[in-house]
Amino acid sequence: MCEQHAVARAAGHVLWTDGRFLVIHHPEPSPLAGWLRLDAVEHVGGVADLADDDAARFGVLHARIASCMKQALGVDRVYAIAFGESARHLHMHLVPRRVDRDDLAAWALADGYRACMRDPSLAAGAEQVQHARERFRTMLAASL
């Protein structure tokens, strides 16, 4: 994650940060446009490792980002996933639940995700992802 953050910073892909947390779009290939991540900037393993003030902040950010996603993407739910397996660095996936994508609903999301990583032609288009980045950069600046 620390490396991914350096790459995201260099590419101008950090959508929002307060120095403690940052928001990025899921790196490409991304199964959906508007799939965001809320990450700790510091190398902490998970929410259990956060001090109370950071844990409280994380909760508020989660709620506000999900609210922005509902509004911007027209979804009525936003999934939150934080396995901590690919990297032991707190990163929470915030996934829009699109009504037209039952293939990415509930636990089927895991299969759809793996399929997209195997075959990037299943991913959201680069233009859509860039549009989502621009939209959320503006929206999060006003909301967080």
CB of 8 to Zn ion, least distance (A): 13
Q: Strand, helix or coil at 35?
A: coil
Binding residues for Zn ion restricted to 40-59, rule: CB under 5 A: 43
- Tell whether residue 2 is a contact of Zn ion (CB under 5 A): yes
Q: Is 9 or 43 the residue whose CB approaches Zn ion more closely?
A: 43
Work out the end-to-end distance of the chain between its first and last CA atoms, rounded to an integer number of angstroms. 22
Interatomic CA distance for residues 45 and 51, integer angstroms: 12
Which DSSP helix (H) or strand (E) runs through 79?
strand 78-81
* Binding of residue 60 to Zn ion (CB under 5 A): no
- Out of 13, 62, 89, 98, the only residue in the binding site for Zn ion (CB under 5 A) is 89
Q: In the bound complex, what is the minimum distance in angstroms from residue 48's beta carbon to Zn ion? A: 16
Whichever of 86 and 121 has its CB closer to Zn ion, that residue is 86
- E strand or H helix at 80: strand 78-81
User: Which residues, 6 or more positions from 80, have their beta carbon under 8 angstroms from its beta carbon?
Assistant: 62, 66, 92, 93, 94, 95
3-state class (DSSP) for residue 140: helix
Closer to Zn ion by CB, 43 or 77: give it.
43
Confirm or reject binding of residue 8 to Zn ion (CB under 5 A): no
Whether the CB-CB separation of 39 and 24 falls below 8 Å is answered with yes
Closer of 91 and 98 to Zn ion (Cβ) = 91
Q: How far is the CB of 89 from Zn ion (least distance, A)?
A: 3
Q: Which chain residues interact with Zn ion by CB under 5 A?
A: 1-2, 43, 89
